[in-house]
Structure 1
Amino acid sequence: MLKRNDKTKPPYGSQTHRLGVTFVVIGLLLLAALLFCLGDDKNQPTQIVKHVSQSHPTVEIQNGTQLIWKIPTNNKPKAVLFIAHGCHRKASDFWDKTPSCPNCTGLPEEKVLVRTALSKSFAVITVSSSGTCWSFGKEKKIVGNVLKTWIKKHDLEKLPLVALGASSGGYFVSALAMDMEFSSIVLMIAEGVFDRISVTKRYPPTLFVHMPKDVYRQQKIREFLEGLRMEGVDAEEIECLDLPMSPGFLADRIAGFDRGVSAKVFEVFKEKGFVDEKGYMKRDGRRTPWKQALSGYKISLEESLVTPVEEELNLAYAYHEMTSFQSEQIFNWFESHMG
Structure 2
Amino acid sequence: MGKAKRRSLLAKIFPRSSLRRSTGLLIITCFLSSAFFSVLVFTNADYVIGVFDYLTSFIPISRSDSKLIAVTTRQPIIQKKRTLSTYDENRIYNDFNYLNPSTLTYENRTYSNNVQVLFRLPEKTPIFALLLIFHGCSRTANDWFNTIERQRIIGAAIDLGYGCLAFQATDDFSRCWSNEVDMSSNNDVEMVWTGLKGFYNEYPKLESLPRFTFGSSSGGIFSSIFAINPRYKIQGQIIFVSIVLPEIVQTRVKKEGYPPTAWIYMPRDIEFASEARINDSKRVFAEENIPHISYIIEPLCVTSTIFHERIPTITKETSLYIFYRLQQNHWLDPQNYLKYNPRRKNTWQEFLLIPVNKTLISTDISKNLNEHKTILPDFFNTLYGEHEISFERSFEALQWHKNIYDNKTKSVL
1:150-161 correspondence to structure 2 within 5 Å: 150-154=199-203, 155-161=205-211
Alpha-carbon distance, 1:215 to partner: 3.1
Say if 2:263 is the partner of 1:208. Answer: yes
Higher RCO by CA contacts (8 Å cutoff, separation 6 or greater): 2
Residue aligning to 1:59: 108
Alignment of 1:108-187 (within 5 A): 108-131=148-171, 132-136=175-179, 137-154=186-203, 155-179=205-229, 180-187=232-239
DSSP-derived class of the 1:266 partner = helix
- Check 1:243–1:72 CA distance in 2 against 1; reply closer, same or farther (3 A cut): same
Aligned equivalents of 2:263 and 2:371: distance in 1? 31
2:379 paired with 1:296 = no
Which ranges in structure 1 are unaligned for 5 or more consecutive residues? 1-39, 96-105
RMSD between superposed Cα atoms in Å: 2.2
Moved over 4 A (4+): 46-50, 300-304
CA distance in 2, matches of 1:330, 1:148: 27
Aligned mates of 1:221, 1:75 — CA distance in 2: 33
Give 1:42 deviation, angstroms: 4.7
Q: TM-score scaled by structure 2?
A: 0.66
**Which amino acid in structure 2 is aligned with residue 140 of structure 1?**
V
- Partners of 1:48 and 1:73 in 2: CA distance: 21
Q: Which has more helix, going by share of residues?
A: 2
Say whether the 8 Å CA contact 1:204–1:233 is kept in structure 2.
yes
Structure 2 distance, partners of 1:236, 1:178, is 19
Partners of 1:153 and 1:244 in 2: CA distance:
46
Shift of 1:201: 5.0
User: 1:258 & 1:181 partners in 2: Cα distance?
Assistant: 45
Contact 2:125 2:158 in 1 (8 A): no
Q: Report the CA distance between 1:88 and its aligned residue.
A: 1.1
Q: How far apart are 1:211 and its partner, in Å?
A: 0.9
Say which is worse superposed, 248-257 or 68-77, in terms of deviation.
68-77
* Counterpart residue type for residue 99 of structure 2: H
User: Contact 1:184–1:334 (CA<8 Å) still a contact in 2?
Assistant: yes
Question: Where does the alignment leave 5 or more consecutive residues of structure 2 unmatched?
Answer: 1-77, 92-97, 180-185, 359-365, 407-413
Please report how far the alpha carbon of residue 251 of structure 1 lies from its aligned counterpart in structure 2 after TM superposition: 0.6
Map Cα deviations across residues 132-180 of structure 1 (whole Å, 9 max, x no partner): 2111322122213312431453121221111111101100101110104
Corresponding residue number in structure 2 for 1:338: 405
Residue of structure 1 equivalent to 2:325: 268
What SS class does the counterpart of residue 81 from structure 1 fall into?
strand
- Which residue of 1 is the match for residue 243 of structure 2? 191
Q: Which residue of 2 aligns with 1:219?
A: 276
2:132 aligned with 1:87, yes or no? no
1:107 equivalent to 2:147? Answer yes
Structure-2 change in CA distance of 1:66 and 1:286 (3 Å): farther
- For residues 174 and 56 of structure 1, the distance between their equivalents in structure 2, rounded to whole angstroms, comes to 29
